[in-house]
Amino acid sequence: MTASLAFPVFSPPAVSLGARRSRRPISRKSSSAPRAGASFLSDVEQAPPDPILGVSVAFRECQNPNKLNLGVGAYRTEELKPYVLDVVKRAEKLMLDAGYDKEYLPMQGLAEFNAATVELLLGKESEAVKSNRVATVQSLSGTGSLRVGAAFVAKFMPGAKVFLPSPTWGNHKNIFADAGVEWAEYRYYDATTVGLDLEGMLGDLEAAPEGSVVVLHGCAHNPTGVDPTMDDWTKIADVVERRKLVPFFDVAYQGFASGSLEEDASSVRMFADRGIEFFCAQSYSKNLGLYAERVGAINAVLADADAAKKTLSQLNRIARAMYSNPPVHGARIAATVINDPELFQRWNEEMREMAGRIKTVRGMLYDDLVTRNPDKDWSFVTRQIGMFSFTGLNETQVKNMTDKHAVYMTKDGRISLAGLSQEKCAYLADAIDDSFRNVQ
């Protein structure tokens, strides 16, 4: 078992009120008199549109009856409608009948949820859980959990650089940058094979400074859908352990990728079983369909209970300053489903059904693409896992997909197969084939 991470005690310097007022984060022009009718925020730059959420805005404005929204990672039925899980409806009825109040939760969140989520992540027989070596704080889905973790890194691991896979989820860079944590990238995706660049990844991790934080997608890598095998994960863990790196898992799709909660947590559990300390952000947006409820958790799996206790106190303190305490409704849904044997069994069935529908359209899309262009290797479509497929389309080809075929997707060539129906597979295959053949 590795030694516990040494988090230095940090106290922010006292700043006088006068000093606070003297700081000017907003750029101002040198004119001594304010401009008539101009806001004091006139010099704030316009932020660029969000590359993912902006796709949905454009889709809604499109009038083409054949339009497809393959941008946002949200599950749709075969009729391309949002889906509220049966277990969520049943859990909400049980909650309504129980007459729960709407009082504030503690900073740490709902106790029943925290106990359930860490067990779901690490397993019922986890030695780390039994020995109280896990600090868990309920947070605002995966994004909020990552942000709390990023703030912890900034405060207690000063100077540590975060290494992100190239490519990665678009919000990772924003989250760590806004927390004041420097980030860099490591090689992950091989455009030639449309697969994992394991050699490049291991080489970059070997070169990372000791104590660096490495963000790892636990399963269903976003945006590529390319996951390491378990043999690959063993090699990754070897480097992490040897170089004394700190893994930060992002687990947004447990149970939703393969249809198995156990299989999708196997990478994280392997690290825990090896005694490697790590952070892990969890989300219940995809696997329970609780997109708008913002349900998730930040976990620190550590070498001893004392370190976990102190880390928990500081995670709570960060959460208190950031959003005070998390929402209760979605957390209670998740806890109810996980802790009720009947609901838990039905949830597993529904995850298999959702994952199965995505696998079905993957197979159909592959067949349609092969029919249209048998000379091109389309096997990446079925090799990838989860809701996304990284098509290899470049930005110009993606523009053709949208402008000519009304297929809305992110500029990096990612498509969400969760937004594809069997009926639309042939239409999408036509658009992809046209874009590859006729657009450079």
d(CA 346, CA 184): 41
- Would residue 306 show up in a list of annotated catalytic residues for this protein? no
Alpha helices in 373-419, H assignment, sequence order: 380-383, 395-405
Residue pair 422/361 in contact by the 8 Å Cβ criterion: yes
- Would residue 286 show up in a list of annotated catalytic residues for this protein? yes
Residue pair 299/121 in contact by the 8 Å Cβ criterion: yes
d(CA 255, CA 328): 23
Catalytic position from the list 155, 169, 227, 411: 169
DSSP three-state, residue 251 = strand
209-230 residues labelled b (16+ CB within 10 A) or e (exposed): eeebbbbbbbbbbbbbbbbbee
The DSSP-derived string for 4-42 is PP------PPP--HHHHHH---S---S-SSPPTT--TTT
The single-letter code of the amino acid at 240 is V
d(CA 75, CA 416): 9
Catalytic position from the list 155, 204, 227, 286: 286
300-328 residues labelled b (16+ CB within 10 A) or e (exposed): bbbbeeebbebbbebbbebbeeebebbbb
Catalytic position from the list 197, 204, 227, 250: 250
- Tell me the β-bridge partners of 140: 295
Alpha helices in 135-265, H assignment, sequence order: 141-156, 171-178, 198-207, 230-243, 261-264
- Would residue 250 show up in a list of annotated catalytic residues for this protein? yes
Strand 68-69 relative to strand 195-196, pairing: unpaired
The single-letter code of the amino acid at 31 is S
Please choose, from the candidates 194, 184, 191, 188, the residue with its C-alpha nearest in 3D space to the C-alpha of residue 166.
Answer: 188
Residue 93: left if φ>0, alpha if ψ -120 to 50, beta else—which one? alpha
- In angstroms and rounded to an integer, the radius of gyration of the C-alpha atoms of the chain is 23
Residues carrying an active site annotation = 169, 250, 286
